[in-house]
Chains A and B, each alone.
Chain A
Amino acid sequence: GQNIDQPTEMTATEGAIVQINCTYQTSGFNGLFWYQQHAGEAPTFLSYNVLDGLEEKGRFSSFLSRSKGYSYLLLKELQMKDSASYLCAVMDSNYQLIWGAGTKLIIKP
């Protein structure tokens, strides 16, 4: 079956760095997405990786290793507004998104 694993909850301090991991097993692979979702809102796109390596976009970076079925989202210089759920999703061979359960990130002052 298809499976995506990510930690349920993480806590970090304002100004620090946090890494959210995601491992996946899917039928086919057409890219991995990271989304941010604040409570009561729809997900917003953060990053897309389809080739191995690190993609950097401001304070957020995303890494992919296809051979290991592994990705991480790195958030630097954490701000209180970064408190949200972070969803990892993989696009399978049918171009459908398979979702992880999401990681709730709590930022403390």
Chain B
Amino acid sequence: DGGITQSPKYLFRKEGQNVTLSCEQNLNHDAMYWYRQDPGQGLRLIYYSQIVNDFQKGDIAEGYSVSREKKESFPLTVTSAQKNPTAFYLCASSIDPRGMEAFFGQGTRLTVV
């Protein structure tokens, strides 16, 4: 089955710690995205990548980093510089970055402990 796999489903981070969220897709999609979802805020764009080895900052990129070394993988690192990292993180992909529907993974819930 084709789809987008996010792991882990739940993640706990200690203060000052970097953590990496995994996102893998086998849909052969060029574009991949990371969103953050907070209660009452909707989905906000963190980073996006339209092609391998290229990525751009979204609206709330501070405190996050990404890489796109392979077409199927787009990991997100939440660094210690992100002051309020507790949120639901969603990865998505799209076959065409010029305005086609995006398909989402099941999300990773990150909690700072």
Q: Determine if chain A interacts with chain B.
A: no
